[in-house]
Structure formats: C-alpha cells, structure tokens
Amino acid sequence: MTSDTRIDDIARLIDDAERILFITGAGLSADSGLPTYRGIGGLYNDQHTDDGIPIEVALSGDMLRRRPEVTWKYLLQVETACRGAGHNLAHRVIAEIEKIKPQTWVLTQNIDCFHRHAGSRQLIEIHGRVDQVLCTHCHYQQTVKDYSGFALPPACPRCHAVIRPNVVLFGEMLPDEAVRLYHREMLRGFDLVFSVGTTSVFPYIAQPVFDVRKWGGRAIEINPGITEVSSFVHHKLDMRAVDAMSRIWQALGHPLPATKDLAVAE
C-alpha cells in the first residue's frame, strides 16, 4: 500500500470517527526545532553533564530536593536551548481537527505548551507545563514566558523557598488532575487513536493503542522509526509529524494554514 493510499484511508477514518485521541511526544516538537535530551541532535547525547552525572539524575525530583542549584542549572540550559521556538503545522492541524471533531483529545508528554498555543483545548498534559512555576513550600504559583532572569536556584517572592517548574521530573509521580482526565477519557474509549512522534515506552502512553481494538476502533502511528506500538497499529506512516499531518489535512479537503499564521508561542 502506498503512502498516498494510507493517507486517504486515514482521512476517511477521521471523517467517520467521533472520538479521536492524539498521543504526542518529542518527535512532534522536534519539527519546531526543539532539541531532545539525548540522541541525534540531543543536548547531552551519551555524555554526562558538566557535573559528571547523567541528565536524568540532574533533572530528578531527588536532586531538586537535595541540590536545587544543580537541577536548576540544567533546567535553565534546556529552557534556553528551546527559547523562541513555537508550535508547528502539525500542532495546528491537530487543533483544527478538534474544531471539526469536537470529541478530539490530545494526550501529550511534551511540556512545551505548543498544543495549547496552537489552539487545542481538550488537553491532557501528562508531564506538566514548563510555563508554570510554583513554590516548593507555600501556595505561590505563576505563569511565565520564559526563565530569563531566574537566579540559580530561583526563590519564591513570598516565602523565599525554592520554586520549581510545574513539570514531572525524573522519579516523580504524574499530576493528579492529568491522571484523572486520562482515566475518565480512557473509560469512554476512542474510535481512532494516533501515536505521533513518541517511542511509547511508558505504559500509559502505549495503552490506548493496545485498547483501541476493544473499543472497536483503529490505531495509526506517525513515526520514522520502529517503536513499542508499531506492530499493533492498523496504519503506520514512516514520516515526520509535520509532513504526515499536512498531507492528512489536505486529504480531508482543507487548505493548509498560511505560514505567517504559525506564530511562535503567543
């Protein structure tokens, strides 16, 4: 089956579906120019950090509690490397699909808020949001544009305890509200599940792909590589997210948004 045929089939599945789930990962935001922690183009690749520890240790909840200046050193490095990037055409197409299919949801591992900026409203940000910081001691919380001007580590303006980003660091639990939304929507099931730009190594990310058959639905993967769910999907597009979502949107009979409309995070 050619890619054109698969894309036409996927467009028909979207037309016929009522409930659609997009599961998204780092591969989607990579098309916005965001670097990954490791791998090709990663900030740290297979090397330790300047402090001689793996980045997963530096960006852990335990390290934040013991040595917050170390965790914040690398939080600032990662945030600076990503600063100025914004949502891309794939984020926008997913948001547009939500407009024509109101029971569309996004389950994202990304903390960059690009889905939100692109217009998606029914979001499960399972790993949190980088644009929110909160105090580790009191109830202070603030939404920020970026981390420029932050001290190392930054202190709460109310109680002077260390503040932290509202994201899941390595070794931490998932946020309660996101987990509640996840379970509620999984109980309702989906007609169509997309896995886009994720290796699906976490069970809660792979599970909807595994469950879609019991819901009587179909699963689609968009990823240039082989992943944990590749052998379970009905259609696989070995493509980058922007290329695949653009072609799917056109197969649905819609023109692509103008490039000038794809602003960086508002």
Catalytic residues: 127
Rounded Cα–Cα distance for residues 124 and 216 (Å)? 23
* CA-based nearest residue to 19, from 83, 80, 97, 103: 103
The full length of the chain comes to 266
First to last CA, the chain: 40
Phi/psi of residue 230, nearest 5 degrees: -55, -35
Beta-carbon contacts of 140 under 8 Å, excluding residues fewer than 6 positions away, are: 134, 156, 157, 158, 159, 163
Eight-class DSSP state of 36 = P
DSSP 238-252: -S-HHHHHHHHHHHT
Beta-carbon contacts of 82 under 8 Å, excluding residues fewer than 6 positions away, are: 34, 35, 112
CA atoms within 13 A on the CB side of 241: 25
